Structure formats: structure tokens, C-alpha cells
A and B are shown apart, each in its own frame.
Chain A
Amino acid sequence: MRRGPGKPRLDVRDLCGEALAGVLARPVRSALTTLGTVLGIATLVVTIGVAATAGNQIVGRFDALIATSVTVEVPEQTWGERVSVGWDAPEELARLRGVVSSAAMATSRKTANLTVSANAIVDPTRVTDQTLEVVSATVGLPEAARGAIVDGRFYDEGHITRRDRVVVLGDQAAKLLGIATTANAPAVFIGDRAYTVIGILGRIGREPGLATAVIVPPSVGRADFDLKEVSRVLINTSLGAAGLIAEQAPQALSPNNPTGLQVTSPPSPTRARDGVQSDVNTLFLILGLVSLVVGGVGIANVTLVTVMERIGEIGLRRALGAARRHIAAQFLLESTMIGLIGGVIGASLGIVAVVGISAANEWTPVLDTRLALAAPVAGALVGLLAGLYPSIRAARMEPVEALRSGT
């Protein structure tokens, strides 16, 4: 008959079964206990989910190029008061705070389609006649158009004052004309005049039309192509200054008739809205965390009440051979389950809300699967932490006392 006691063991499935039965024994109480966790997790999921979704929309729309580009158009003179912008526009604009670079350009209907041919010596077998646009521009054009000189150089004030017949080709124009390099000073013919190609402008960020244009100095434009008047001014501003510059530029460019100019500026002050949004986000995150803590305290409280109500059950289980750790594990698992249920419900509600908010704003919802998985885990963790103290209390109970005081 003598038999070693062996270690009391509890099958994990039995432990889960007992804990689940404990949670389901008082379904209404358990449901109410999850509320804090549901609210906290849902708030966090909505805040993070909407921030990610909205952030994605802003990234999609937000474009530093557009946000810092201001274009001033000079309407073609038909009737009424004469509006004109001088070729010294870049100097005028340089006085405004926030202007990074600018250039004045002249285009006209007459110069939009001119026949241009390359120096026949370059490649005699090729048909090199092309119909291209000729524009004149001030020396700051490469920077103002956010381009780069990919070969040779851009003309300078010296070329302008000397009225040198030099041109810079847009990179597409150069390709069309079969000019790959300016090293041996190729020439292009426009009408009956020859012009030396001194550079090729590529990687153009704004004014895409420049890629297929022949760019000439203002002095040449005036003399050879009747491009007398500035028709467009390109301005690049520092980030956030675009709105202000858009207001100030007409005054600087045409003090007599500033309203005659058409200004194109970025659609809205995106950055300001971002700032507001991130403040709101922080607020909601804090709110979510606070509700989570409140939810955890709620679970701890209810679990403690449950432990006190079930002293008799604890005594009985000890009498049936349950070790202290089995008692602790059961109550810990019960509170973890409550937290997990709260986390699952909260995450589901949060995801539904993110999808709803996205639909209302016509956004594509951005749902991080890691967030969807982490939210229930966070809920379970809250439940686990909340259950620590009550389950230790339960495990510490002496079986005799528990059986005496419980019914």
C-alpha cells in the first residue's frame, strides 16, 4: 500500500477548461470587466490605424516639389492695362525671404514650333530636322526648373551682354537632334542662323516642356525670336514659405498692376494640418493607454472580488489536491482570458472603425497585420498583469481557513 505521493500535476487542457468555466460562470460580470480593455485597445488601434492610413494619404499627396513651387504667369497682352515683368525679376525676387531660386522665361506662340537642325557634320546620314520650341530664360533656369546640366555648361551674364549666339538644349531635344556631347561645340541651325550648343539641361523637375526645348539667352531671344516680354516666372521657395511668396511675388514683380498676374501656388498648407493631426494623435494614444490602465485596474479589482467570493472553492480545490501554483495559475489564466477577450473585441472594433473612417474619407485603409495581432496580445498582457496580485492572494490562502470561511 505504501506509495510515494508524486507531484500533483494539472493537465494544461484541464487548467484552460477550469479557467474558461470560471470566466463563463459569471458571463455578465466578465463582459463588463472586459469593457475597459475593449475601449483602450479599440482607441489604440483606431489611433494607430487612422494615423497610418492618413499618413499614407499625405505621403501620397504630399510632394515637396509641389509644396515649394510657385509659378507666376504673365497673361498675353490683349486689352486693358498693360502688365509687364522685367527681366530683372530674379533680382527682385531674391529680396523676398523664402525664395530659394527663380528664373524668368519668355515663350510665345510663334516660337513654339520652329524647325531646328543639327550641324550636318555630326552625322551626315541622319535626318536631323526637328520641330522644337525655343524659349529664352535668365541664367538661373537650371536651378529654378530643378534640373541639372548633364553636359557642358549653362550660359552666363557674359553671354547675355555679349549677345553670343549660344543655346542650351533640353536633354530630349539633344537626343532628337543627335547631339550627345557638347565637347566639340556642335551647332544647331534655327532658320538661317547657326547657334553654338554649350550645354544640355536634364533631370528637369518642373516645366517638363523644357526637356524638348532650345533655351536661348534673353538677349538672343529678343534679337532673333522676338521674345521681348517675360511670360512666366518660376520660383522655388523654402518649405512652408510658398503661401507667403505667392502673395508677395506679384507685388515685387509688377508693382503697378500686381493683380494682373496669375499665380499658381501649392494647394494647401499641408504641413500645418499635419502638425495639428499629430497633436490629436498623441492625445488619443494617451487616452487609449489610460483606458487600458483603467481596464487593467478594473480586471484586477473584479478578479480580487472573484477570489474573495470563491474562497470556498479554493479550499475545496486544495482539499482535492491542488497545489498553490495550480490555484494561482487558474486565476491568472482567468484574468488573462478576460484581457484577451477584451483585446480581441477591441481590436475588431478598432479595425472596423478604421475601415469606416477610411471609407468616409475615401482613403485606402492601411492595416498593419502586426497591429491586428499585437492588440489582442496587449489585452492579454493587461489581464495577466492585473491578475498577478489576486492570484497570489488566492494561492497564499491556507486550505483550512479557506474551507472554514467559504461555503
Chain B
Amino acid sequence: MTTVISLADVCRIFPTEPPVHALSDVTLEVPPKDYLAIVGPSGSGKSTLLNTLGLLDRPTGGSYRLDGVETTDLSDGERTALRGSRIGFVFQSFHLLATRTVEENVMLAELYRKHDRRRRRKRALDALDRVGMGHRVGFTPDRLSGGERQRVAIARAIGGDPALLLCDEPTGNLDSDNTASVLDLFDELREQGLTIVVITHDDVVSGRADRVVRINDGRLT
């Protein structure tokens, strides 16, 4: 099978004064079903790397192949389409819509991709069952605990049936119990065939991963 992520000499320079070299010559391979943790001090470029992997940001140099497709010369619209169809995101701050129910939040995952609308609700409920949130479908996010919110966010991320799950500090706002339940969930998802990349400060999180890479000043070490 093709490597899911293949970075070669990727650079990201922010054109500020002076320019910030957030990523310098990053080379990284992530095979399918890998569970990779990226650790590093604050300001080292972890989020920039994840945004690049998630096609939210464009590298200023180097090559990034996702599922074998060279992404650096794709148009904005093509990158959006690829992102929508291949990648699920889990953010530290959840990014749930406060005025919509748990179920509606998960259903957003398919809004911009699949078009079998009839079974969308069913698939959303399945995703919520997978993260153990099947009993809270009608709630709004403000009535959930932090761990529950993050599990809903993970349900939304996997609801779009991605090949790659990118998580930026997914447990940053959670206590140890909630962190443990999210990590158990990642283990399960990986067994189901997902490729997972997690950014973290937390040794507990990086300890559960297959591989850990360190980033310092934009360079992998």
C-alpha cells in the first residue's frame, strides 16, 4: 500500500519581519495504520506541521504527497476536496457548533462530501456509538463534559470516513480520566485501520503511540 504521508524537505517560512522558519527541511514518512505522536516545545512548529499535513496550510518549499498524490501543486479547490475526502481533524478546542445538537454536529462531517442524504443520520449515530456517545445525541455541546465534547469531535472527524486522523493537542483541555478514554478510543480506531497523527505535550499521550518524532525549531530530531 502507498505511504499515507510522504514529506520531503518541507519548509514553511512566514514572511514576517524577520521571517519565521516554522518548518525547515522536514522529511517524514507515515505508513498506513501508523500511530504517530509529534512532540516538541511550544513554538517549535507542531501546529504548523499539522496544518501542512491537513492541507490547511501550504508549504513554501519541498514536496508533500498524500496517498501518493503530490499536493503542493494542487489548486485551492482541489486541496479542499482532498482534505474533505481524506482527512479528519480533532482540535484542542473541539470546534463544535454551540447551537446545534451533538447529532447535527456529527452530521456536518458529510455535508461537503457524500451525497446519500437519507442514511446520513444513521451513519452519524453509528459514529457516535463508536465513541460511546450514543446516549447524548440530542444534547447541545454546552451540556457535555470536556471529554464528552472531545469524543463528539472525534465522532465528527471519523464520520467523514477519513484515511487519516490529525489531532492537535486532543487532550490539552482534558483531565487524566477523560484523556485515558480518548486514548482508548484512538487505540480502537487504529485497530479499525485509521492512520493517526497526534500532536501533544503530554508524555502519557506520546507513550501510547507506536512512534514518536521530536520537533525543535522547525526541525525533526
Q: If the complex has contacts A8-B80, A321-B80, A399-B56, are A316 and B95 also in contact, measured as CB distance less than 8 A?
A: yes
Q: How long is the Cα–Cα vector from A372 to B100 in the complex, in angstroms?
A: 35
Q: How long is the Cα–Cα vector from A7 to B81 in the complex, in angstroms?
A: 6
Nearest CB of A to B170, in Å? 14
Q: How long is the Cα–Cα vector from A321 to B84 in the complex, in angstroms?
A: 4
Whether A251 sits at the interface, judged by CB under 8 Å, is no
Instruction: List CB contacts (< 8 Å) of A197-249 with chain B.
Output: none
Interface string of A318-342 (1 = CB under 8 A from B): 1111111010000000000000000
Please determine whether B67 and A1 come into contact, CB atoms closer than 8 angstroms: yes
Q: If the complex has contacts A1-B163, A2-B67, A321-B83, are A315 and B112 also in contact, measured as CB distance less than 8 A?
A: no
Q: How long is the Cα–Cα vector from A174 to B146 in the complex, in angstroms?
A: 105
Q: How long is the Cα–Cα vector from A312 to B141 in the complex, in angstroms?
A: 15
* Chain A residues positioned under 8 Å from B113 (CB to CB): 8, 321
* Chain B residues positioned under 8 Å from A403 (CB to CB): 56, 91, 95
Interface string of B95-132 (1 = CB under 8 A from A): 10101100010001101110101000000000000000
Whether B76 sits at the interface, judged by CB under 8 Å, is yes
* Chain B residues positioned under 8 Å from A321 (CB to CB): 80-81, 83-85, 112-113, 160
Q: How long is the Cα–Cα vector from A333 to B84 in the complex, in angstroms?
A: 22
Please determine whether A319 and B99 come into contact, CB atoms closer than 8 angstroms: no
The residue of chain A having its C-beta at the shortest distance from the C-beta of B91 within the complex is A403
Whether A127 sits at the interface, judged by CB under 8 Å, is no
- Residue of B2, B32, B108, B112 contacting most chain A CB atoms (<10 Å): B112
Q: How long is the Cα–Cα vector from A324 to B80 in the complex, in angstroms?
A: 9
Please determine whether B56 and A3 come into contact, CB atoms closer than 8 angstroms: no
Our pick among A312, A313, A322, A407 for the contact of B80 (Cβ within 8 Å) is A322
* Chain A residues positioned under 8 Å from B56 (CB to CB): 318-319, 399-400, 403
Nearest CB of A to B38, in Å? 17
Mostly helix, strand, loop or mixed at chain B's interface? loop
Please determine whether A318 and B115 come into contact, CB atoms closer than 8 angstroms: no
Whether B181 sits at the interface, judged by CB under 8 Å, is no
Q: If the complex has contacts A319-B56, A323-B80, are A21 and B99 also in contact, measured as CB distance less than 8 A?
A: yes
Nearest CB of A to B31, in Å? 12
Instruction: List CB contacts (< 8 Å) of A1-37 with chain B.
Output: 1-3, 5-11, 13-14, 18, 21, 25-26
Q: How long is the Cα–Cα vector from A8 to B32 in the complex, in angstroms?
A: 24
Please determine whether A319 and B89 come into contact, CB atoms closer than 8 angstroms: yes
The residue of chain B having its C-beta at the shortest distance from the C-beta of A322 within the complex is B112
A-B contact count (CB 8 A): 101
Whether A317 sits at the interface, judged by CB under 8 Å, is yes
* Chain B residues positioned under 8 Å from A26 (CB to CB): 99
Q: How long is the Cα–Cα vector from A21 to B108 in the complex, in angstroms?
A: 12
Please determine whether A14 and B111 come into contact, CB atoms closer than 8 angstroms: yes
Please determine whether A8 and B112 come into contact, CB atoms closer than 8 angstroms: yes
Q: How long is the Cα–Cα vector from A11 to B56 in the complex, in angstroms?
A: 23
Please determine whether A9 and B112 come into contact, CB atoms closer than 8 angstroms: yes
Whether A255 sits at the interface, judged by CB under 8 Å, is no
* Chain A residues positioned under 8 Å from B147 (CB to CB): none
Whether A75 sits at the interface, judged by CB under 8 Å, is no
* Chain B residues positioned under 8 Å from A5 (CB to CB): 69, 74, 78, 81-82, 84-86
* Chain B residues positioned under 8 Å from A25 (CB to CB): 99-100
Nearest CB of B to A2, in Å? 5
* Chain A residues positioned under 8 Å from B74 (CB to CB): 5
Whether B142 sits at the interface, judged by CB under 8 Å, is no
Interface string of B147-173 (1 = CB under 8 A from A): 000000000100010010000000000
Whether B68 sits at the interface, judged by CB under 8 Å, is yes
Nearest CB of A to B70, in Å? 12
Interface string of A371-407 (1 = CB under 8 A from B): 0000000000000000000000000000110010011
* Chain B residues positioned under 8 Å from A21 (CB to CB): 99-100, 104
Please determine whether A320 and B108 come into contact, CB atoms closer than 8 angstroms: yes
* Chain A residues positioned under 8 Å from B163 (CB to CB): 1
Q: If the complex has contacts A11-B117, A316-B95, are A323 and B109 also in contact, measured as CB distance less than 8 A?
A: no
Our pick among A8, A14, A316, A319 for the contact of B81 (Cβ within 8 Å) is A8
Whether B63 sits at the interface, judged by CB under 8 Å, is no
Q: How long is the Cα–Cα vector from A11 to B99 in the complex, in angstroms?
A: 21
Q: How long is the Cα–Cα vector from A18 to B74 in the complex, in angstroms?
A: 28
| 7 A-B pairs (CB sep. < 8 Å) | A8-B113, A25-B99, A316-B97, A317-B108, A319-B54, A320-B160, A323-B81
Given contacts A21-B104, A319-B56, 4 further A-B contacts (CB under 8 A): A8-B77, A10-B112, A313-B97, A318-B56
**Closest 8 pairs (CB-CB, A-B):** A321-B84, A5-B81, A25-B99, A321-B112, A5-B82, A316-B95, A8-B81, A399-B56
